[in-house]
Amino acid sequence: MVSDVEHPREEILADRAQNGRAEPLGIIAGGGALPRIVAQEAAKQGWVPVIVAVADGRASDWSPWPHLSIPWSHVGEGLSFLRASGVKKIAIGGTISVRPDFRSMVPSFRTLSLLPDIFRAMRGGDDTLLRACTTAVARRGFEFVAIHDIAPKLLMSEGTLTRRQPSQREELALVRGFLAARRLGELDVGQAAVASPDRVIALEGIEGTREMLERVRGLRARGRIGDKEPCVLVKTVKPQQDRRFDLPAIGPSTIAEAAAAGLRGIGVSAGGALIIEADRLLSAAEVEGLFVVGRALPPETGASA
C-alpha cells in the first residue's frame, strides 16, 4: 500500500497510546459504508468512535457508538458534542450529496459563531469548502486525521488488482480519462471522468459518480456510444487536494454501476483514492469481467488531442 500522508500514522497511534486509556476519535459521517468501516477499524485499534452524522449519514444506525445526528444548521452543536466527548482528533468521510445551504437556513446559536468561517468557505468549489472548514474546525482545537491513517487497507494500491488486464485500446482510454479527470480536479469540479480511446464521454459535476455512470448508461442505450468503443471510468485525487479529506472512492456498487454503463474497467489514482470493501469489489469486478487498476502517477501526455 502506498501512503504519503503529512501526518505519519505512527505518530497518531503513539498519541493515542500515551493517553493510557481508550481515546475518543471523532468521525464526521456522511452516507455509504465508509464511515462505519472507519469506525469499526478505529474500534479494533482501541479508539472509541464518536459519531456526528451529517447529510446522507443521518439515515444510518450508528449504535453501538456514541452519536449525534445533526442538520447543517446545527453543526455548532456537533462540535460541542465532540468536545464534550473528549475528542481531539476527527476523521471525516462518507457521501454528502446535499451541500449545506447556509444562506437559506436559520442556524442554531452554537452554529452562529461558525458562520463567518463558513461563508468564507462557500466561495470556492468543494475542495475549497473542505479546506476552509478544516481551518474553522482546527481553530476550535481539533485536529483532522486521514481515514487511511486509521484504516490503511482502504488506500488504493498500485497495479492491476483484477485478473483481467487493460488491452492496448483500453490503456489509451485510461490515459485520456486520467488527463480529463486531473484537469477537472484542477478546476475543483469533480474527480471522475468516463473516456474512450477517442474522446471524453462524461465529466463529473456535482451530481457524483453514480449519476454520471447512469448518464453514460443512457447514452449507450440510445446509441450515442458505439458498441465497439471501449470506455473506462477514471477517478483521481485533485492535484491540490489535502489528502485527509474527500479522497475519491470506489466500492462494490461502483462495479455494478460501471458494468451497467457498459464500461470495460476502472482506473484509480494509487495512494490517492479509497477502495471500500475491496474483497467484495474485486470479486464483483471478476464476475463482470471489468479490470481495476491503480496508477501512481497519471500519465499527463500522449492523449491531449
Within 118-137, the residues that bind its own copies by CB under 8 A are 122-128
Candidates 21-29, 133-141, 211-219, 265-273: pick the segment binding its own copies (CB under 8 A).
211-219
CA 127-60-88 angle, 5° bins: 55
Within 216-235, the residues that bind its own copies by CB under 8 A are 219, 223-229
Q: Does 5 bind its own copies (CB under 8 A)?
A: no
Query: Given the complex with its own copies, which of 154 and 192 has the nearer CB atom?
Result: 192
Task: Give the binding-site size for its own copies (rule: CB under 8 A).
Answer: 44
Query: Given the complex with its own copies, which of 127 and 257 has the nearer CB atom?
Result: 127
Q: Does 242 bind its own copies (CB under 8 A)?
A: no
Q: Does 258 bind its own copies (CB under 8 A)?
A: no
Report the C-alpha gap between 292 and 23 in whole angstroms.
Answer: 37
Candidates 43-51, 133-141, 206-214, 256-264: pick the segment binding its own copies (CB under 8 A).
206-214
Within 49-108, the residues that bind its own copies by CB under 8 A are 97-99, 101, 103-104
Please identify which residue in 17, 206, 221, 297 interacts with its own copies, judged by CB under 8 A. Answer: 206
Q: Does 200 bind its own copies (CB under 8 A)?
A: yes
- DSSP string spanning the chain? -----SS-HHHHHHHHHHTSSPPEEEEEE-BSSHHHHHHHHHHHTT-EEEEEE-GGGGGS--TTS-EEE--GGGHHHHHHHHHHTT--EEEEESB--S---GGGS---HHHHTTHHHHHHHTTS-HHHHHHHHHHHHHTTT-EE--HHHH-GGGB--SEE-SSSPP-HHHHHHHHHHHHHHHHHHHTTS-SEEEE-SS-EEEE--TT-HHHHHHHHHHHHHTTSS-TT---EEEE---TT--TTS---EE-HHHHHHHHHTT--EEEEETTSSEETTHHHHHHHHHHHT-EEEEESS---SS---
Q: Does 301 bind its own copies (CB under 8 A)?
A: no
Query: Given the complex with its own copies, which of 121 and 259 has the nearer CB atom?
Result: 121
Query: Given the complex with its own copies, which of 141 and 218 has the nearer CB atom?
Result: 218
Query: Given the complex with its own copies, which of 143 and 188 has the nearer CB atom?
Result: 188
Please identify which residue in 9, 88, 183, 280 interacts with its own copies, judged by CB under 8 A. Answer: 183
Q: Are 35 and 54 in contact (CB under 8 A)?
A: no
Q: Does 257 bind its own copies (CB under 8 A)?
A: no
Instruction: Catalog residues that contact its own copies under the rule CB under 8 A.
Output: 97-99, 101, 103-104, 122-128, 179-180, 183-184, 186-190, 194, 197-203, 205-207, 211, 215, 219, 223-229, 305
